[in-house]
Amino acid sequence: MNKPRLYSGMQPSADSLQIGNYIGALLSWKALQQTHDAYFSIVDLHALTVAQDPVKLRENTRRTAAQYIASGIDPSAATLYVQSHVAAHAQLAWVLNTITGFGEASRMTQFKDKSAKQGSDGTTVGLFAYPILMAADILLYDTVVVPVGEDQRQHVELTRDIAARFNSRFGDTFVIPEADIQKETAKIFDLQNPTAKMSKSAESHAGVIWLLDEPSVTAKKIMRAVTDADGGVVFDRENKPGVTNLLTIYSTMAERSIQSLEDEYAGRGYGDLKKGLAEVVTGTFGPIRARVLELLGDPAELDRLLAHNADRAAGVANVTLARAFDRVGL
């Protein structure tokens, strides 16, 4: 039986991933690679939509690949590749640009947010076209399932609209994909600002747990996490966002229920909870970090593996691209 096709990706936008990327994406990808024919991309073309240092971008792309692998993405079970290594992404994106309405693309809320922050001179046409490149990413693999965060729902909707429009105008060409929206319980917040999503691109790194931080740095950040004056270890997103965030991280990383953690730490205060959490996080990330350093120690082998995976991805993508080119008369 053929496994359903799945596609997801992450930008190589920092030299380390953060714990939200691990819990919200990598942990579920690791499970999904067993049940799906999974394509996991490092989307460097997407990263280019904001200014990048060329040397750092190339290095961060390798580092991101190493972190995927060290976190359990198996490059022989899943196809793990760098987006720019498969030329079909940019080629199909161009065709899709020509059937996407300017008004339709202008309604993307992520573009509105990002461009508002960057001003009209800092906002590139590439940033505007980002969701259409993402549509190409997904459609090239005849993807059925797209696991993403809530913030990407609108982009997957756009992908579906573009695919359906293409199919009705030019004949059946693309599979219409479905978004598989990340569970609310997999969302991690900034340790210093526990109502804001933890992010690689956060302005301050004080509340970000990096996968590649030294264990002592991670422990310090957890011990300094913002909590509240109440003292009770209770899961309450509304009134105790800091403690609730710590319990969420603990529960997913240790594979324990929130209830069992509340019971264990009842009456013991936040210091003990944080100490326990720091042990769990460093216990998981320690070996991952060691494996990342090992992989980065042999860049030629890592590059060989990525090239091999890109060939595999291109084998699928080029078939879809040829079909689409043929349909539009190219």
Per CB under 5 A, residues contacting Na ion are 201
The alpha carbon of residue 80 and the mean position of all alpha carbons in its chain are separated, in whole angstroms, by 13
Minimum distance of Na ion from residue 11's CB (angstroms):
6
- Report the residue number, 23 or 93, with the smaller CB distance to ligand ADP: 23
- Report the residue number, 49 or 71, with the smaller CB distance to Na ion: 49
25 interacts with ligand ADP by CB under 6 A: yes
- Report the residue number, 10 or 233, with the smaller CB distance to ligand ADP: 10
Helix (H) or strand (E) segment spanning residue 6: strand 5-10
256 interacts with ligand ADP by CB under 6 A: no
116: left (phi over 0), alpha (psi -120 to 50) or beta: alpha
Q: Measured at CB, which residue is nearest to ligand ADP? A: 24
Q: In angstroms, rounded to a whole number, what is the distance separating the alpha carbons of residues 155 and 11?
A: 15
Q: Which residues are catalytic?
A: 114, 197, 200
Q: In angstroms, rounded to a whole number, what is the distance separating the alpha carbons of residues 65 and 304?
A: 12
Ligand-binding annotation for 253, yes or no, is: no
Q: Which of residues 172-211 bind ligand ADP (CB under 6 A)?
A: 182, 186-188, 197-201
User: Angle at Cα 180 formed by Cα 177 and Cα 183, nearest 5°?
Assistant: 170
Q: Which of 137, 143, 147, 138 is nearest to 31 (CA)?
A: 147
3-state class of 175 per DSSP? coil
Choices 11-19, 100-108, 110-118, 168-176; region in contact with ligand ADP by CB under 6 A: 11-19
The binder of 28, among Na ion, ligand ADP, none, by C-beta within 5 to 8 A per type, is none
- Report the residue number, 10 or 273, with the smaller CB distance to ligand ADP: 10
Minimum distance of Na ion from residue 48's CB (angstroms):
13
Q: Mention every residue, 6+ apart, whose C-beta is less than 8 A from residue 2.
A: 37
Cβ pair 158, 107 in contact under 8 A: no
Q: Which residues bind ligand ADP (CB under 6 A)?
A: 10-11, 13, 18, 20-21, 23-25, 148-149, 182, 186-188, 197-201
